[in-house]
Amino acid sequence: MTDCIFCKIVNGEIPGDRVYEDDRVIAINDINPQAPVHILILPKSHIKSVMEIDSDNEDILSHIFKVACRLAAEKGIDRKGFRIVNNCGEEGGQTVDHLHFHLLGGRFMEWPPG
């Protein structure tokens, strides 16, 4: 999608601090980190939100979670714990309309979220 900031990062039009890449996803450090580890994992194809997940593309979700857990182990936050967050839609706090999951860790996470 031409005006999508995450599509632009995927195709290299704008820089992204990549920490992982394969044929289906990339992971980048968040530009405005909310925790010592704050990584975004996103599909290379433009999927607007979890509401666009269907039987044709649902495999991407398990893949994203697998990558997130692998990154958590690499970053050393797997033992103490971490949080994986998806914001969906305006009231859910989604500000970039390209599906992504936040991997947050390295500090104690409050509950409930704000």
The answer to whether 98 is a known catalytic residue is: no
Q: Are 44 and 10 in contact (CB under 8 A)?
A: yes
**Burial (Cβ within 10 Å: 0-12, 13-18, ≥19) of residue 65:** middle
Q: Say whether residue 101 binds Zn ion (CB under 5 A).
A: no
- Interface with ligand 5GP (CB under 6 A), residue from 74, 76, 93, 107: 93
Q: Say whether residue 87 binds ligand 5GP (CB under 6 A).
A: yes
CB atoms within 10 A of CB 20: 15
Tell which positions 24-43 bind ligand 5GP, by CB under 6 A: 28-32, 40
Residue nearest to Zn ion as judged by C-beta position: 4
Q: Which of 38, 46, 63, 100 is catalytic?
A: 100
Which residues are known to be catalytic?
A: 100
